Chains A and B, each alone.
Chain A
């Protein structure tokens, strides 16, 4: 109880209780705290696990009186996936960021060995994200969007017999990570007597297999009675429906059959009202607290121990924060330096290779150049020779021409008559 907890603390800290001689005013503290929370808004994250078509989406819609998502899944998913969607709801001055995570394809595969693993991975991933934020040097936890799963509604098929192996396996793997509330889905397919037997069988199976489901807390006097009663009604047999029908003179949510109408909010027909009461109106805050104080702490402890952090050193002496951090920092820097060295080596290596290639190319180019130069020179020489020949030819030709002209001139001078006519002709022409 509250006062004994404080009393214990008193003894530890040597604090005397004092009586006040007047009104101080700190009884407004809870209001101050609550107002701050209202300003920040609340987060609530629900995970629904159940076979395809078992009524997960319908139940959530009914719980929150809204049509959230209309998509219907097929039965032919190759593996189990999770689909998460966030909605912002508001009621009076309370703003709620509601995230609903549904399994897609759960129980549809032929081989269901790995069915639960994606779920475990998802839950762990949310814890991991929070842990990462918490470990940051510069962190902002007070406006962190908390995605950790606060409650898991596990939908049990209304076979009337017992839990399926898959159910047991999945719940066993999740019970230390999340608050599990098992519900019997489509409870309007079971008769009342069968339902009682079914519930007893289910609970005894859970207990005998050591599955820890969420127990509604019984430590607060105001709600302990109702919580204890509700604990006895688990698993809740629920029916979901968003269709409204007229019953009597009211419109109620119901499912209509030829043989009658199943009313969702009628406690004689199903436990839907109980579920809504417990989940939202009475224990929402406790679910959030358990997630943070128990499940998250367990995850954190395991993760940090995995990473090699210890609270006590090898001789069982408490290791100081400084030592641990410095040791880790040294390790980290060591690794960093090693990586740097490796990278540098690789860089140097690459540079060498590139250099070699470039040199090779340069050499080739040079060789080509030389070759071309030589060719060019040869060509030139050839051309020079040819020109010389040509010039020689020309000189020879000119010589011959001159000689021939000379001969012709001499021949003309020695035969005048013959050539007079020719001369005349020539003069006439000239």
Chain B
């Protein structure tokens, strides 16, 4: 039996690949022999009240070369100035030598729901002449947030609510070249899709006609598939048949969303709408026939926001934790502001 114990311990130490769940049908009524109404379903209201009291955290990261409209898009998504637009590099400022990570938090409220929204900007990504490994500071930041959470989680005396700074969603901006993905795009997404939920978006989609857009999207999807890049919503985490059908449609038809952002309002047909004014017409941001912004917004905020957080917590964070606890798993000791580097002699 000693042998069995050792074998059991060994199997715990070896990280297995993420389990691929089978896709079952949604369960239909079980064993309901209640003779009358009791009130069990009030638990939904109880739970809803509690969550509204505690509020929600949401951390969204934007990655892409400067000038692709990242800040504008985030401001459009959340209908407020959550991200300060960079006015480009003027002659006095130097282009940062490495990618900077800037996290700014705001509290927004809607319909009684309070959300602490943190937008993490990554200025400098892809802007240098030599962009080798420019995703590393980003990966490091993401892992640092997992580390912070892990530290809090393993404390003996734990906080009632551990502050969640983990990146729930990373919007990756693809340049609307109309041709294909760039090597930098592929490298970034290959590395990061394993640690964070990546949602690729095609920026400044108003530079493409409808046909160009459709073709570009198809090509991008193909390239992502060929390179084994699993963007959110990942196939392996579909919970059941309903999820799978819904998500398949999004994965195979809508994504990557071709978006246009704007924080300026114009008068169109007697209504004030967000848009971009050009000599040849006004591009309406929230008009589905003009661009897919509304799809992105509905997807990220109205239907899948909670799921983004849960996948981050139940999958990405758990993966990090398992690797970290398992003999440091090849990860270098993470340095936070107060810690020093420890040499591992194991």
Contact = CB atoms under 8 A, between A and B. Distances in A.
A329 to B, nearest CB: 7
Contacts of B342: 320, 322-323
A27 B31 CA distance: 34
Counting chain A residues whose Cβ lies within 8 A of the other chain, the interface size class is 35 or more
B5 to A, nearest CB: 10
Interface of B (DSSP majority class): mixed
A298 B12 CA distance: 27
Interface string A365-403: 000000000000000000000000000000000000000
A326 B116 contact: no
A294 to B, nearest CB: 9
Given A24-B77, A293-B160, 9 more contacts: A5-B54, A24-B110, A26-B301, A90-B34, A94-B44, A280-B42, A322-B342, A323-B342, A324-B154
B325 A137 contact: yes
A33 B33 CA distance: 28
B50 A27 contact: no
A20 B12 contact: no
B46 A285 contact: yes
Contacts of B322: 137-138
B40 A96 contact: yes
Counting chain B residues whose Cβ lies within 8 A of the other chain, the interface size class is 35 or more
Contacts of A405: none
A310 to B, nearest CB: 7
Interface string B108-130: 11111111100000000000000
A280 B107 CA distance: 34
Given A18-B107, A305-B156, A284 B115 contact: no
A58 to B, nearest CB: 15
A280 B79 contact: no
A331 to B, nearest CB: 13
B38 A38 contact: no
Nearest to B272: A22
B318 interface: yes
B7 to A, nearest CB: 14
Contact of A32 (B46, B305, B325, B328): B305
A316 interface: no
Contacts of B113: 26-27, 29-30
Contact of A13 (B105, B112, B306): B105
A66 B34 contact: yes
Contact of A283 (B46, B52, B108, B150): B46
A146 interface: no
A6 B55 CA distance: 8
Contacts of A10: 107
A321 B150 contact: yes
Interface in B139-182: 150-151, 154-158, 160
10 contacts: A16-B106, A22-B79, A24-B79, A26-B305, A27-B111, A29-B306, A36-B310, A90-B31, A94-B40, A301-B157
A322 B324 CA distance: 9
Contacts of A293: 160
